[in-house]
Amino acid sequence: MFELLFSIFGEFLLQIIVEALFELGLHTLAEPFRRKRSPWLAATGYAVFGAVFGGLSLLVFPSHLVLNHLGQLANLLLAPVAAGLAMAIVGSWRARRGQDALRIDSFAYGYLFALAFALVRFLFAH
């Protein structure tokens, strides 16, 4: 039981760390691009970046961290929701501090990034 909880938490933690680093990098690079873009274009971009980072994570962790298929499905469904909630909390925290929030600092875009990340890992990890 402990192994199952640890492996699910490990997958979730991997997604959160990658997404947080991505978000931090976006804040650093965003200043020249402050003009609002299409939300559909942004959503596509976050999905592509999530898939790319999911693929890159396979270079470091080529195997599933969750070993049974049911746990992998649960991770695919629940980890993006948790990551989206985490990004919404980060966005709320930034807003309270008077900092600019990027689109990824919301539930929807954070969820989309994490879903693409998790889907690539689900399909291609062994």
Per-residue pLDDT tens digits for 81-121:
999 999 999 999 999 999 888 888 899 999 999 999 999 99
| DSSP codes joined into one string, 63-93 | S-SS-SHHHHHHHHHHHHHHHHHHHHHHHHH
8: Cα within 13 Å, side-chain hemisphere: 18
Q: What is the pLDDT of residues 15-26, one digit of tens each?
A: 778 777 777 666
Look up the pTM and report it: 0.75
- Mean pLDDT computed over 63-91: 92
Answer yes or no: are the C-beta atoms of 103 and 109 closer than 8 Å: yes
Helices (H), 1-105: 2-29, 39-60, 69-96
